[in-house]
Amino acid sequence: MKYTELDRELLEKEFECVKKEFDALKEKGLRLDMSRGKPSAEQISLSDGMLSVINGEDCVSGSNDYRNYGIVDGIPEAKKLFADLMECENDEIIVCGNSSLNIMYDTLMRAMVFGIDGNSTPWGKLDKVKFLCPVPGYDRHFRICEKLGIEMINVDMTPTGPDMDTVEKLVSEDESIKGIWCVPKYSNPDGITFSDETVKRFASLRPAARDFRIFWDNAYCVHDLYDTPDTLTNLLKECKKAGNDDLPYIFASTSKISYPGSGVAVIVSSKNNIARIKDQISTQTIGHDKINQLRHVKFFRNVEGIMVQMKKQADIMRPKFEVVVNTLEREFSENTIAEWTKPNGGYFVSVNLLDGCAKRTVKLCAEAGVKLTDAGATFPYGIDPRDRNIRIAPTYPSLEEMKGAIEIFCVCVKLASLEKLLNK
């Protein structure tokens, strides 16, 4: 059945039918949550060996005692592990605390107060600062900009990454555009990995603003669901080749490798940028949690150890993603009122509905006991211009819950679409 080709009478009939289904679901009084990209308890338990992996003696390394003050850029063992993971040099990385969001926020706060490079005006002193925001994107990126009064400009995502024609045009023309947010691998929420060409075009940008930076949130760098993962070209290396060494700020964390909230986060950038940031951070703190850094090194040992962990994570997550995608396929492959992504990794499935149906669907789901991310959350200022995008986060509920939740979602999508088509 293809709603968009039905006449009014058939639509009304279908509406009655779906409405009944919805009411029945509502009566069940379920409480399911597909709203946030949180790992499940089962995933988190994979790291519990880490909780007792070190003792006091382990913390002493040569003249350093990691239990004491100091070492603002991270313990050498952690720098090695994460430099290997991020494919960068030892002097191109700082291993920080528990949150890459925190690093991003702090990076922007420093830009506001001190400026990007010591030679340019602090953004807080400028009349206007703008950021490009590929959409749909990550709500917490947008929230930082909104709080800082940074004007956000939507740029469409394509299957190969942001629309680079638009990106190149805008950054070369407008000096007030100071940055762009990217989640380059398994993007939030589309699950798109930027193509080699897209990364190279990023590396070769010629921004009008000399203090323009690419905020490259590589949150899902090793978060593959399948044995044939997407691959992402190394932006740092490409920037060097293009003579644009200082252009990228790259962020990552183990929040979805080990523990969300008790992981380790890193910033990667040019040697110059890292030296400046290290100096700035040394006013902010005497050092991050080095014991937790060591805990991660002892538990994972090396990149191979991380990849083994990620395969275990994938084994838990994959069935949930497949339930979502297969159910959507079953319900909507012919009835073209929804389009969705089939990501090879990351934490989300992104669904586009008929224009104007996202908010209503989220509301209907809530009534039926399924919590979704707010419609609009994937756009700056919470405004989805077409009110059609919904982000589904399949990881946190159990597989059984996920099955139930996505069935309800499909019913709600149908109901919202029918309401729209019938102008109800």
Binding site for its own copies (CB under 8 A): 36, 38-39, 41, 44-45, 47-48, 51-52, 54-56, 60, 65-70, 97-99, 101-102, 105-106, 109, 112-114, 122, 124-125, 140, 143-144, 147-148, 255, 259-262, 280, 283-292
Q: Could you give the angle at the alpha carbon of 250 between the alpha carbons of 245 and 256, nearest 5°?
A: 160
Residue with smaller CB distance to its own copies, 52 or 333:
52
Are 235 and 203 within 8 A, CB to CB?
Answer: yes
Residue 268: C-alpha distances to residues 11, 104, 121, 132, 301 (Å): 54, 11, 23, 21, 20
Helices 76-86 and 290-300: crossing angle in degrees, nearest 10, is: 60
Q: Which is nearer to its own copies, 69 or 226 (CB)?
A: 69
Torsion of CA 291, 294, 296, 299, to 10 degrees: -120
DSSP annotation of 136: S
The sheet with strand 265-268 has its strands ordered as 93-95, 265-268, 248-253, 213-217, 177-182, 130-135, 151-158, 161-162
Smallest distance from its own copies to CB 68, Å: 5
Q: Specify the residue, 108 or 250, whose C-beta has the smaller distance to its own copies.
A: 108
Residue 235 vs 402, nearer CB to its own copies: 402
Residue 182: CB minimum distance to its own copies, A: 19
Q: Which is nearer to its own copies, 201 or 256 (CB)?
A: 256
Name the token pair of 316: 């838990």
Tell me how far apart the alpha carbons of residues 145 and 32 are, in angstroms, rounded to a whole number: 31
Nearest distance, CB of residue 270 and its own copies, angstroms: 22
Q: Residue 188 CB, nearest distance to its own copies (Å)?
A: 14
Closest contact distance (angstroms) between CB of 90 and its own copies is: 20
**Closest distance to its own copies from the beta carbon of 66 (Å):** 8
Shortest spacing between CB 418 and its own copies, in angstroms? 35
Distance in Å, CB of 11 to its own copies, minimum? 41
Q: Measured between alpha carbons, how far is 28 from 423 in angstroms, rounded to an integer?
A: 28
Nearer to its own copies, 125 or 169 (CB): 125
Residue with tokens 């509920």: 397
Q: Kindly tell me which of 113 and 422 has the beta carbon lying closer to its own copies.
A: 113
d(Cα 414, Cα 354) in Å, to the nearest integer? 10
CB–CB of 254/97 below 8 Å?
no
Q: Which is nearer to its own copies, 211 or 238 (by Cβ)?
A: 211
Nearest to 354 by CA among 293, 307, 415: 415
Shortest CB 398 distance to its own copies, Å: 14
Nearer to its own copies, 43 or 335 (CB): 43
Question: Looking at this protein, which amino acid is placed at residue 158?
Answer: T
- Let me know: does 419 contact 22? Beta carbons within 8 Å: no
Going by C-alpha positions, the residue among 389, 395, 257, 388 that lies closest to residue 323 is 395
